[in-house]
């Protein structure tokens, strides 16, 4: 049977799990380097005479401010896309509720639960499109392509405003977490490094020092 040439591209990866016979179980993900930037969407909307450039960004800026305002007061914000709420955690292990103090609680991130309507619309579209299998190039082959790696770095730096992260670079390069970290650390080394590695809160970021071209 010929390989499907249309549909949503996906990759197959090895999972840590095995089946009853000891064989590694595979799992599928959307193609890792298939990313649509916000500015590209704005450009498409403008070209289609749906919305002028900047209007969508302004709407998101207003939504972001309001979302942060209400979530920071402990509210769950319901939207047509879904519900946004804070993730909280404990800074230390506590078993007695009476021992919990206000400063034992910390912000751990944002929880998003997609709405039923959003999920239904996407599922309907996905079922119409179908899927197609794309073979992911191995990390060694990708890392050997200097032009491809530098372009992935440019895109990730541009998207994050002067720095990148391992997870962001992973998405744009198609590398594994180990290989992405190794490549970013390589750019931090030597007499003329491209990046500087530093801590930002609980995260590690890679700041741009110089990028040729």
Q: Does one domain contain both 8 and 105?
A: yes
Say how many residues make up the chain.
Answer: 213
Backbone angles phi and psi of 26, in degrees to 5: -95, 155
CATH number for position 174: 1.10.10.10
Phi-psi region of 74 (alpha: psi -120 to 50; beta: other; left: phi over 0): left
Q: State residue 115's pLDDT score.
A: 97
Q: Does one domain contain both 99 and 9?
A: yes
Backbone angles phi and psi of 128, in degrees to 5: -75, -35
Q: Among 86, 111, 136, which residue terminates a domain?
A: 136
- Domain extent, residue 2, equals 1-35+76-136
Is 42 part of a structural domain of the chain?
no
* Alpha-carbon span 169 to 175, nearest angstrom: 8
Burial (CB count <10 Å: 0-12, 13-18, 19+), residue 186: middle
* Alpha-carbon span 178 to 142, nearest angstrom: 13
Q: Among 118, 136, 154, which residue terminates a domain?
A: 136
Q: Does one domain contain both 105 and 144?
A: no
pTM: 0.61
Distance from CA of residue 174 to its chain's centroid?
12
pLDDT, one tens digit for every residue, the chain (213 residues): 455 567 898 888 778 888 999 998 988 888 876 778 888 899 889 999 999 999 999 999 999 999 999 999 999 999 999 999 999 999 999 999 999 999 999 999 999 999 999 999 999 999 999 998 887 666 777 788 888 888 889 888 865 568 899 988 888 887 888 888 999 999 999 888 989 998 887 788 999 886 444
Most distant CA atoms of the chain, gap in Å: 65
Choose among 11, 42, 8: nearest CA to 122.
8
Contact yes or no for 195/207 (Cβ under 8 A): yes
List Cβ neighbours of 54 (8 Å cut-off, separation of 6 or more).
Answer: 42
Contact yes or no for 76/85 (Cβ under 8 A): yes
Q: Does one domain contain both 101 and 8?
A: yes
What does the radius of gyration of the chain's CA atoms come to, in whole angstroms? 21
Is 66 part of a structural domain of the chain?
no
Is 175 part of a structural domain of the chain?
yes
Q: State residue 119's pLDDT score.
A: 97
Phi-psi region of 113 (alpha: psi -120 to 50; beta: other; left: phi over 0): beta
Q: State residue 100's pLDDT score.
A: 94
């Amino acid at each position: 049977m010929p390989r499907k040439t249309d549909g949503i591209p996906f990759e197959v990866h090895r999972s840590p799990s095995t089946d009853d016979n000891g064989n590694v179980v595979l799992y599928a993900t959307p193609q890792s380097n298939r990313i649509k930037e916000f500015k590209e969407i704005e450009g498409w909307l403008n070209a289609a005479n749906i919305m002028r450039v900047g209007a969508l960004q302004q709407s998101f800026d207003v939504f972001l401010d309001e979302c942060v305002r209400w979530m920071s007061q402990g509210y769950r914000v319901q939207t047509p896309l879904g519900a946004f709420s804070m993730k909280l955690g404990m800074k230390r292990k506590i078993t007695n509720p009476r021992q919990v103090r206000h400063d034992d609680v910390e912000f751990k991130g944002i929880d998003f639960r997609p709405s039923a309507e959003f999920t239904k619309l996407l599922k309907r579209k996905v079922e119409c499109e179908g899927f197609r299998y794309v073979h992911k190039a191995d990390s060694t082959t990708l890392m050997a392509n200097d032009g491809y790696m530098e372009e992935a770095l440019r895109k990730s730096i541009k998207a994050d405003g002067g720095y990148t992260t391992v997870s962001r670079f992973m998405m744009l390069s198609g590398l594994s977490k180990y290989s992405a970290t190794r490549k970013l650390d390589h750019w931090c080394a030597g007499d003329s490094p491209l990046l500087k590695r530093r801590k930002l809160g609980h995260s590690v970021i890679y700041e741009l020092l110089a990028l040729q071209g």
